[in-house]
Each structure stands twice: as structure tokens, then as C-alpha cells.
């Protein structure tokens, strides 16, 4: 791999010295106060093909000002984020079977079971992310997911099995999905910024799955609303038919009812 900086070609085999040559060839003076580490950072950024990071590092070399954000700190933040997600997904793997069982709607329990399989794959995918950055896969207790799952559990215990409980389960599950979409979006953006392209790609796959799971839950909720509306209409029609039936049977014995019945006609 090679790049061009200030008109000078930089080869991957020695980006550090080539970056220095490029700057001097382009008569870009290195600031006397520039941290020596900035040259390494610029070279490492080029090595990863991260243009944004390179610009920041080269700017630090020429102005003598420290980069706004140390990439190492951002890397630590990234690891912390994926550890949080790893724990969150593991909590979800344990919780989803109970939610699937508690649902009355077959469509909802199928959707939850399907997402449970996806969640197991997402745990494995996060392990690949850890591997791609050569860090041991380890979770950091995710309090957010714990709280969301506690709320989901309340929906199950507070409502009897039925449409209302199903809708409460969906409400809790969609909160979980949105929480995960936010977490994966942040981790993916960090990975992109750090030039961790493999990790970014893996995280984006899961982010898309979470979005699809959220859409699926909206579809299930919509069909639950529709079927409960239909049921209500059928109930109203049945009630009306029963009332009309009761009216006509009363009509056979009561003259006033007969008159009322005639008036209706
Ligand atoms: Fe997930």
C-alpha cells in the first residue's frame, strides 16, 4: 500500500520516515515544539489509511499544538463501548426466551425467537470485533440493558397473557432495540474514526439487524392493533345483533315493543 502526502509517495514499509521526508520535501516545516509522538501518530494513521486522523496529526506536527484528542484515549473508549455491548447482548440472550414464552401472539413469539438467534450471532460477531483489535473478549456490566430488561419483566408480571401484555412486551423490546442501535452506531462511528475498518463493518451488520428487528416489532404491533380493532367491530356487531334479537322476541309479547319495532322499519 502507498499514499501521497504533499506530493511525496509514502510506502507502507516505512511510513514514519517517509512522512518526515514528505513534510520536508514539501517544505512544510515541522514545529520545534511538535511532540515527537505526532510523527508516529501521523505515520500510524497513514498506515491504517485513516485520512481524518492523518490530517489532525500532520497539523499537530506543523503547528506544534497537540492533537485535540489522543487516539489512544479514543481507542480505550471504543473498547469500553464494545465491552458494554458484549454484556448487553449476553443479558438479552438470557432474557429473550422468557419474553417469547410470555407472548400470546404467535407472530410476536416467532419474532422474539428469531431475534434471539440473531442475538446469539451478535455475541459471536462482537467476539470477532474483539479479535480484530486483538483485545480479549470481556463484558462490562451494562446497567442500561439491566434496567430495560427489568421493565420488560414488569410488563410480563403486571399483565395477564393477552394482547395488552403483548403490546407491553413490544414496547419494552423496542426500547431495547433503540438502545442497541444507539450503542452500535456510536461504536461503529468510533471504529471508523480509528480506521478499524473490519470492526466497523461487523458493528454495522449488527446495527442493521437491530433496525430490522425494531421494524419487525412495529409490524407486529400494527397487526395486533388491527386484529383487536376487528375483534371490537365483531363484538359491537354481535352486541347489536343480540339487542335486535332481544327486541324482536320482546316484540312478540309486548305491543309497545312491536310498535317500536315497526317504527324502526
Ligand atoms: Fe442485539
Question: Could you tell me the distance, in angstroms and rounded to a whole number, from the CA of residue 206 to the centre of ligand 1?
Answer: 7
Averaged confidence pLDDT in the chain: 82
Nearest CA to 184 out of 107, 37, 86, 47 is that of 86
Q: What number does CATH give the domain 71-228? A: 1.20.1260.10
Q: State the DSSP H helix or E strand holding residue 57, giving kind and residue range, or none if neither.
A: helix 51-63
**Among 102-106, 196-200, 246-250, where is mean pLDDT lowest?**
246-250
Across 225-254, b (16+ Cβ under 10 Å) vs e yields eeeeeeeeeeeeeeeeeeeeeeeeeebeee
Question: Could you tell me the distance, in angstroms and rounded to a whole number, from the CA of residue 205 to the centre of ligand 1?
Answer: 11
Question: Could you tell me the distance, in angstroms and rounded to a whole number, from the CA of residue 208 to the centre of ligand 1?
Answer: 10
Q: What pTM value is reported for the model?
A: 0.66
Question: Could you tell me the distance, in angstroms and rounded to a whole number, from the CA of residue 180 to the centre of ligand 1?
Answer: 6
Which residue ranges does the chain devote to CATH 1.20.1260.10? 71-228
C-alpha grid cell for residue 58?
500532520
- Given a cut of 90, whether residue 235 has pLDDT beyond it is no
pLDDT of residue 262: 32
Q: How far is Cα 203 from Cα 82, in angstroms, rounded to an integer? A: 9
Give helix 36-48 / helix 15-25 axis angle, nearest 10°: 110
Question: Could you tell me the distance, in angstroms and rounded to a whole number, from the CA of residue 130 to the centre of ligand 1?
Answer: 16
Question: Could you tell me the distance, in angstroms and rounded to a whole number, from the CA of residue 189 to the centre of ligand 1?
Answer: 17
pLDDT of residue 106: 96
C-alpha grid cell for residue 240?
347489536
Burial class (CB in 10 A: 0-12, 13-18, 19+), 64: middle
Question: Could you tell me the distance, in angstroms and rounded to a whole number, from the CA of residue 132 to the centre of ligand 1?
Answer: 19
Question: Could you tell me the distance, in angstroms and rounded to a whole number, from the CA of residue 122 to the centre of ligand 1?
Answer: 6
Question: Could you tell me the distance, in angstroms and rounded to a whole number, from the CA of residue 17 to the centre of ligand 1?
Answer: 44
Q: How far is Cα 142 from Cα 145, in angstroms, rounded to an integer? A: 6
pLDDT of residue 183: 98
Question: Could you tell me the distance, in angstroms and rounded to a whole number, from the CA of residue 245 to the centre of ligand 1?
Answer: 54
Bigger pLDDT: 37 vs 160: 160
**Pseudo-torsion of CA 11, 16, 19, 25, nearest 10°?**
-100
Bigger pLDDT: 263 vs 70: 70
Bridge partners, 4 (sequence order): 9
pLDDT in tens, 10-64: 665 665 566 666 666 666 666 666 655 566 666 666 666 666 566 666 666 777 7
Amino acid at each position: 500500500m502507498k499514499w501521497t502526502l504533499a506530493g511525496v509517495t509514502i510506502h507502507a514499509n516505512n511510513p514514519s520516515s517517509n512522512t518526515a521526508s514528505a513534510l520536508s520535501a514539501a517544505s512544510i516545516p515541522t514545529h520545534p515544539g511538535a511532540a515527537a509522538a505526532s510523527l508516529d501518530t501521523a505515520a500510524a494513521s497513514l498506515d491504517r489509511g485513516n485520512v481524518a486522523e492523518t490530517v489532525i496529526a500532520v497539523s499537530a506536527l506543523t503547528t506544534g499544538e497537540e492533537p485535540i484528542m489522543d487516539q489512544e484515549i479514543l481507542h480505550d473508549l471504543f473498547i469500553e463501548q464494545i465491552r458494554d455491548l458484549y454484556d448487553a447482548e449476553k443479558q438479552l440472550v438470557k432474557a429473550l426466551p422468557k419474553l417469547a414464552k410470555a407472548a400470546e401472539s404467535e407472530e410476536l413469539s416467532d419474532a422474539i425467537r428469531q431475534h434471539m438467534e440473531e442475538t446469539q450471532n451478535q455475541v459471536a460477531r462482537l467476539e470477532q470485533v474483539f479479535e480484530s483489535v486483538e483485545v480479549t473478549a470481556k463484558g462490562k456490566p451494562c446497567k442500561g440493558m439491566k434496567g430495560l430488561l427489568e421493565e420488560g419483566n414488569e410488563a410480563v408480571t403486571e399483565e395477564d397473557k393477552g394482547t395488552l401484555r403483548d403490546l407491553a412486551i413490544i414496547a419494552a423490546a423496542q426500547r431495547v432495540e433503540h438502545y442497541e442501535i444507539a450503542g452500535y452506531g456510536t461504536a461503529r462511528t468510533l471504529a471508523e474514526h480509528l480506521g478499524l475498518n473490519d470492526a466497523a463493518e461487523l458493528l454495522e451488520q449488527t446495527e442493521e439487524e437491530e433496525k430490522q428487528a425494531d421494524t419487525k416489532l412495529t409490524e407486529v404491533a400494527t397487526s395486533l392493533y388491527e386484529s383487536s380493532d376487528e375483534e371490537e367491530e365483531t363484538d359491537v356487531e354481535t352486541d347489536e345483533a343480540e339487542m335486535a334479537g332481544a327486541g324482536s322476541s320482546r316484540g312478540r309479547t309486548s305491543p309497545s315493543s312491536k310498535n317500536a319495532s315497526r317504527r324502526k322499519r
